[in-house]
Amino acid sequence: MKDNDHFERVNFETLIETDGYDRIQDRLNIVDVFLGTEEHITIDEMYRLLLEKGYDYEPEFVRQCMNRMADLGFAQKKKFKDQPIRYEHRHLGRHHDHFICTKCGKIVEFADHDMERLQTKVAASHGFHMLQHRMEIYGLCSECLARRKPLMPLGMAKPGERVVIREMTGGKSALARLSSMGLRSGDQIEIINNTGKGRIILGRDHTRLAIGRNIAQKIMVSVADKEGADGGVT
Ligand SMILES: [Zn+2]
Ligand SMILES: [Zn+2]
Ligand SMILES: [Zn+2]
């Protein structure tokens, strides 16, 4: 056990003894397991982790103990978008913020001195006295980014496939032609017909569009996700 963890454990023990809690040893076991993980952990995950370590406590007891730790300032509760409540360590005098991958849910911590200072400065310039903040940046983690589907020319997309426009190459005239049809990067389109010759028929929202094969070769697309999300960017 790290020195700091030991100190936190003793500190916690003193506080719950003062409050007259029962099952002190069980609670300390939960504290030890919690301090021993660096994860942003849910109650369910905490319960399973305790089981792995040989502690079979009722989930409600685990929840109650975790909340007590949060109340006493040993843990902090975090609710990231679309995720269950998670608990992480709260080390006094230390602060960090989070990147959250919207694809796999991975949480990455960061601390940036300049960003912290800038937030205080911006708040002050609005006459706002900042007490606390949370900075959450949502996006793709490096693994998910690396797995992102490669680009292909629209001309290669198959009928029935849903794709997202990623880039448009080609000269100004090609770009002007596309924007006159209302096509923009990020648009999701459905391939209605592509015989490999002649024009390609697309559906976008409620409109069908016909695009010449030459221009279709200049539009780079990626395959959209099955759920209809936009091809791996969300
Ligand atoms: Zn921060
Ligand atoms: Zn990810
Ligand atoms: Zn964190």
CATH code assigned at 123: 3.30.1490.190
Tell how far the Cα of 60 is from the centroid of ligand 2, in angstroms: 31
Indicate which ligand has the atom closest to the C-alpha of 100: 2
Tell how far the Cα of 204 is from the centroid of ligand 1, in angstroms: 41
4 pLDDT band (50/70/90 cuts)? confident
Tell how far the Cα of 76 is from the centroid of ligand 1, in angstroms: 14
CB burial class (10 A; 0-12, 13-18, 19+) of residue 215? buried
Tell how far the Cα of 28 is from the centroid of ligand 3, in angstroms: 22
Give per-residue pLDDT as tens, 59-89. 999 999 999 999 999 999 999 988 999 999 9
Domain assignment present for residue 234? The answer is no
CATH of the domain at 203: 2.30.30.90
Give per-residue pLDDT as tens, 6-39. 899 999 999 999 888 899 999 999 999 999 999 9
Mean pLDDT of 157-184: 84
End residue of a domain, out of 146, 166, 183: 146
Indicate which ligand has the atom closest to the C-alpha of 41: 3
Q: Two tokens at 182? A: 């209302």
Number of domains in the chain: 3
- Contacts by 132-135 with C-beta closer than 8 Å and gap 24+? 134/78, 134/97, 134/98, 135/97, 135/98
Give per-residue pLDDT as tens, 225-234. 765 444 444 4
End residue of a domain, out of 49, 70, 89: 89
Question: What is the average pLDDT score of the chain?
Answer: 89
* Among candidate residues 145, 148, 139, the one with its CA nearest the CA of residue 223: 148
Tell whether 135 and 196 lie within a shared domain.
no
What's the rounded Cα separation, in Å, for the pair 155 and 34? 54
What's the rounded Cα separation, in Å, for the pair 136 and 82? 13
Domain containing residue 132 = 97-146
161 pLDDT band (50/70/90 cuts)? confident
Tell whether 109 and 141 lie within a shared domain.
yes
What's the rounded Cα separation, in Å, for the pair 128 and 140? 32
Mean pLDDT of 92-103: 91
CATH of the domain at 72: 1.10.10.10
103 pLDDT band (50/70/90 cuts)? confident
Tell how far the Cα of 19 is from the centroid of ligand 3, in angstroms: 28
Tell whether 49 and 114 lie within a shared domain.
no
- pLDDT score of 227: 52
Tell how far the Cα of 68 is from the centroid of ligand 1, in angstroms: 24
Indicate which ligand has the atom closest to the C-alpha of 147: 2
Indicate which ligand has the atom closest to the C-alpha of 148: 2
Tell how far the Cα of 34 is from the centroid of ligand 2, in angstroms: 24
Tell how far the Cα of 57 is from the centroid of ligand 1, in angstroms: 35
Tell how far the Cα of 43 is from the centroid of ligand 2, in angstroms: 22
Q: What are the helix (H) ranges across the chain? A: 3-18, 24-35, 43-52, 59-71, 113-125, 142-146, 172-180, 213-216
Q: Do 100 and 138 form a contact (C-beta atoms < 8 A)?
A: yes
Indicate which ligand has the atom closest to the C-alpha of 132: 1
* Among candidate residues 63, 111, 52, 56, the one with its CA nearest the CA of residue 86: 63
